[in-house]
Amino acid sequence: MWNKIIDISSKATKQWKSILLIYGVQLVLGSIVAVIAYRQFNGAIGSSLELDRLANGFDRSIFSDMINKFPVIIEHIQSRFALMVVLFLMLSIFLHAGLLSNIRYGYYSIFKYFQNANIYFFKFLKVVLISLILKIVVLAIIWVPFFMLIGDPLETFHSEKTLIFTVIGLVILSALCLIVIWLWSVLSRYHIVDENRLLVSMKSGWRLLISNFARYYIVGCGLILLHVIITWLYTLVVDDWGAETWFTVLALVIMQQLFSLIRIWIRVFGYSAVND
Amino acid sequence: MVEKWLRNSLLVFMTIMVVNTCVFTQCNTSYNQSQSLKIANYDIEVHLDHKGKSASCIQKLNWKNTSPDTLRELRFYMYMNAFKDLKSTYLKNTRKMFGQDLKNRTKKEWGHIEVTQAVDRNGNDLVQNQEYIQPNDGNALDETVLSIPLEMPLLPGEVIELDMNFDVKLPRTIVRSGYGPRDFFLFVHWFPQVCVYELKVDGNWGWNSHQFMPGTEFFSDFGDYNVEIYASDHLVIGGSGCKTFSGKVLGTIGEQLVRFQAHDLIDFGWVAYPEYETYTSTYGDTDIEILMVPEHYAFADRYLKAIEQSLEYLEKHVGKYPYPKITVVDPPTHTLNSGFMEYPMMITGATAYGIPRSVRSVESLVIHEFTHMYFMASLASNEKEEAWLDEGFVTYFEDRILDHYYGNQSSLFDVLGARSGNAQQSRNEYVSMENPNLGKIARPGWEFDGGFKSLIYAKTATAFKTMERIIGSDIMDEIIKTYFERYKFTHPKEADLRKIIKEVLEKNTSNFDSDKYLNQVLHATSSINFKMVDINNSTKTIEAIREGNFEIGTEVLIMFKDGSSKTVNWEGSEKHFKHTFSSSKEVISAHIDPEQKIYLDLNLNNNSITLDPNKKPLYKYAAKLGHWLQAVSQWTSFMM
């Protein structure tokens, strides 16, 4: 078991060029948002002595006064943030095409990455669209009846505990279903690399998933769990750091970027595990 | 007379029938039971029909005419009639409340109250001539104020006793009072309560008997209450006052009697629900009873701690808690709109399963409502006409207590690096109003058309915080202590508070112009925003402006490049401030009100300019946003 994990880790690590590429794309988009945010904040409170107060930690009054006075700041940052996320999602189809084909063929070069990404992009796009539709249908099947039947939740449920646990249960069920679809889509994409035929690949992907369901499912759930743990660790470790010195600011940025890199490595580890 | 004899006999019989092995939960009796004039005293016997959501009641009223006038009528609040239909003044323009659609209610879901008998000492039944009156808006369909003409005039100093019968039907909970699923009952503002006959501002005496108007609460006289509740024994009952008796009624199947006694209250409320679990504790001389729904049991210690903190803080900074007990009622989620309220010696909280300890909504609510035991129950100002007098002080102390125990940057919530103090929340609620100049604070509740909470609660609390920072917390405490000691168990008005403020300020030789300040805060719509405009080292000037018509003086702190500083006074009357500094030193920053005393300032960020800004926090928060984009991108790409 441990040998397998070490072997997969090693394969994932060997994909460091792909990891850095994906990280680089995320970093560029993140930096765009960061620069926009900096400019907006600087324009609003950049010459205020209140910044000294903010250096010692979060101060709600400073942010709320800024937003009250310049509500457009938040709207601007929000819209750019959403735009960058959508842009990354579109790019991620291409990035996945290169990454998955590299993992499948055992390639590690960036040249091969781009070459295969170019080859498989449209087929992967079709898989993504099909899986997206499936995900929407599954979510609708789970949630629409809930919202239709629930009425006024405070009137319907004797105790909010029932409501809270029902919602938690449905969220977990949704996640479990989405993991199945996601695994199917990843396995289908691996088959596309092998067979180059969409429907046949999707069929093969499904068969493979069913034949090794427990194994794949553990990998899928583990991957999600690791992402949750990483986010929790991040908020625990660095979310409340101040900005007393340039060193703390720099340390914060380095720590943040380490977390980002680890997240991508974990994803590549997951893909390698599914491939194995 | 025969009826009266029969009723009294029945009362004696019922009392005898109650078994002797009952539970007695008598409060500490050492407290002063005679603190008010005891104008309106009520003995009420309640027979609850839990299936019909109603109660038949017998009320013995003892009311004293403390005015110099001879009275020919008594006026009663009949609040429950506000929930009779959508024609009452309270609801006529309302179709939704607390998210509930009111227009589709069935007849059973509405409530009402009716006096069926009111017999005076001479045996005259006065209900024949009773009539509903509408002193505020003339809405003939509003039945929230009842006038009962007297057969014999009531002379100054005389006491009238009335033996009354009344029936009350609870509505399905709209705002607080009402019934909920699974036999939940909250009886508040539920009995015919005598209005206040008072000395008006114009020097004449008269009835203060407003209809139940939107945006208003309550106003009534102090008195003693003896309340006996006969109800099904599956219900757990709690209420204002002290429970002196609780036991099964012999000769009945499943009936219990619960008896309450309370002194010097302005109202009496009670609650019944089969699922309540009772938690009791004592803090100093005060008994604490908490009625919790089972799924909220984990919150009992949070309720208790909030009450203990409130008691500790208020007894130190305001005065001794004037009652022997407090009952805290936790409403079930299905009837959550019965929560968030204060009654004398009883408060209702509100919580929901799973609220983390770092989100102190439970504490802030309990502390707020408990503080009403001082500002409302004891200092019983008119909540209809001067709501700010209780809600403003209560919010101010809610801020102080929360900030004292949990830190002024994080007392309200502290989650994942985002946090807020309670006073910050109050200030923000005011300064983030779309129009902070919306209206003045000192006006009756029904005159508000929006902004009620932001002005009455938040702006008033922020104004008191500003005043505290200007005159100092010791003097502020002395004002409040004096106000409480002198006016507790009376109906203080704004003028009374002002008198105390001036007296204490004079005693402490403070030059704070309280009249000018309070006039601007309470009787004007003005706001204030100090703004530093420019530092010019070549002309050796700094310039600032005051936006808004609120006049108040402050200080400007000028920092020089060599580390030295200079403080300059800015008189409140000047809108434009220009200071020329003669020093050869270079100015590095200028800060208006550097200690943030003027907490009413609409924007504290623009109070200062520095030529050497600390950009580190900007980089930090920008980097954080950038990183969250990376994280969100990574998360959402699972969908692709």
Among candidate residues A82, A86, A30, A236, the one with its CA nearest the CA of residue B625: A30
- Taking CB atoms and an 8 Å limit, are B607 and A48 in contact across chains? yes
To the nearest whole Å, the CA of B630 is away from the closest chain A CA by 5
For the cut 50, the answer to whether the pLDDT of residue B15 exceeds it is no
| Assigned token pair, B317 | 């900074």
Asked whether A236 and A219 are in contact (CB, 8 A), the reply is no
Percent of chain B with pLDDT over 90: 86
Residue A258 resides in a domain: yes
For the cut 80, the answer to whether the pLDDT of residue B16 exceeds it is no
Touching check for B635 and chain A: CB below 8 Å?
yes
Same-domain status, A203 and A251: no
User: How much is the pLDDT for B22?
Assistant: 55
Question: pLDDT confidence of B10, banded at 50, 70, 90?
Answer: very low
Of B336, B416, B610, the CB nearest to A239: B416
Q: Yes or no: is domain B2-32+40-274 CATH 2.40.40.20?
A: no
Same-domain status, A19 and A96: yes
* Predicted confidence (pLDDT) per residue in B304-318, tens digit: 999 999 999 999 999
Q: Which residue among A211, A237, A263 closes a domain?
A: A211
Amino acid at B108: K
Same-domain status, A89 and A162: no
Average of per-residue pLDDT values in chain B: 93
Taking CA–CA distances from A186, the nearest residue in chain B reads B640
Q: Which chain A positions have a beta carbon within 8 Å of B639's beta carbon? A: 89, 132, 135, 178, 182
DSSP H or E run through B62: strand B54-64
Interface of B with A in 156-195 (CB under 8 A): 181-182
* Predicted confidence (pLDDT) per residue in B570-602, tens digit: 998 899 999 998 878 999 999 999 999 999 999
* β-bridge pairing B223-232 and B205-208: unpaired
Residue A223 resides in a domain: yes
Interface of A with B in 164-203 (CB under 8 A): 164, 178, 182
Give me the residue label for tokens 């009936």.
Answer: B255
Same-domain status, A205 and A218: no
Touching check for A82 and chain B: CB below 8 Å?
no
- The domain made up of B529-613 has a fold known as Immunoglobulin-like (2.60.40)
Same-domain status, A224 and A180: no
Query: Residues B550-578: what's their mean pLDDT?
Result: 94
Q: Which distant-in-sequence residues (6+ apart) come within 8 Å of B577 by Cβ?
A: B543, B544, B545, B546, B556, B570, B592
Distances (CA, A) of A78 to A68, A82, B121: 16, 6, 73
In order along its 276 residues, chain A shows pLDDT tens digits of 788 889 999 999 999 999 999 999 999 999 999 999 999 999 999 999 999 999 988 899 999 999 999 999 999 999 999 999 999 999 999 999 999 999 998 999 999 999 999 999 999 999 999 999 999 999 999 999 998 888 777 677 777 888 889 999 999 999 999 999 999 999 999 998 887 788 899 999 999 999 999 999 999 999 989 999 998 898 888 767 778 899 999 999 999 999 999 999 999 999 999 887
Touching check for A121 and chain B: CB below 8 Å?
no
* Predicted confidence (pLDDT) per residue in B64-108, tens digit: 999 999 999 999 999 999 999 999 999 998 888 877 889 889 999
Give me the residue label for tokens 């040249």.
Answer: A111
* β-bridge pairing B112-119 and B40-49: unpaired
**ipTM entry:** 0.94
Q: Which residue among A41, A75, A108 closes a domain?
A: A108
Residue A201 resides in a domain: yes
Of A92, A135, A164, the CB nearest to B354: A164
- Taking CB atoms and an 8 Å limit, are B629 and A253 in contact across chains? no
Of B604, B611, B620, the CB nearest to A61: B604
To the nearest whole Å, the CA of B636 is away from the closest chain A CA by 7
Same-domain status, A19 and A103: yes
Write out the CATH class of domain B387-523. Answer: mainly alpha
Interface of B with A in 410-469 (CB under 8 A): 416-421, 424-425, 427-428, 431-432
Among candidate residues B428, B601, B613, B420, the one with its CA nearest the CA of residue A57: B420
Same-domain status, A135 and A196: yes
Helices within chain A (DSSP H only): 2-14, 16-45, 50-55, 60-69, 71-105, 110-150, 153-156, 160-195, 198-211, 213-237, 246-275
| Assigned token pair, B475 | 């003097």
User: How much is the pLDDT for B563?
Assistant: 94
Taking CA–CA distances from B628, the nearest residue in chain A reads A30
Domain around A252: 213-276
Same-domain status, A199 and A226: no
- Taking CB atoms and an 8 Å limit, are B432 and A89 in contact across chains? no
B275-373 maps to which CATH number?
Answer: 1.10.390.10
Residue A142 resides in a domain: yes
Of A160, A257, A263, the CB nearest to B352: A160
User: How much is the pLDDT for B14?
Assistant: 46
Query: Residues B444-453: what's their mean pLDDT?
Result: 94
User: In chain B, what is the greatest distance between 2 CA atoms, to the nearest angstrom?
Assistant: 99
Same-domain status, A36 and A98: yes
To the nearest whole Å, the CA of A81 is away from the closest chain B CA by 7
* β-bridge pairing B418-420 and B554-560: unpaired
Same-domain status, A51 and A135: no
Instruction: Tell me the domain boundaries of chain B.
Output: 2-32+40-274, 275-373, 387-523, 529-613
First to last CA, chain B: 85
Of B419, B611, B622, the CB nearest to A41: B622
Q: Which chain A positions have a beta carbon within 8 Å of B425's beta carbon? A: 60
* Predicted confidence (pLDDT) per residue in B147-163, tens digit: 999 999 999 999 999 99
Percent of chain B with pLDDT over 70: 96
Query: Residues B465-484: what's their mean pLDDT?
Result: 98
- Taking CB atoms and an 8 Å limit, are A47 and B610 in contact across chains? yes
For the cut 90, the answer to whether the pLDDT of residue B441 exceeds it is yes
**Number of domains present in the structure of chain A:** 3
To the nearest whole Å, the CA of A153 is away from the closest chain B CA by 8
Q: Do domains B387-523 and B529-613 have the same CATH topology?
A: no
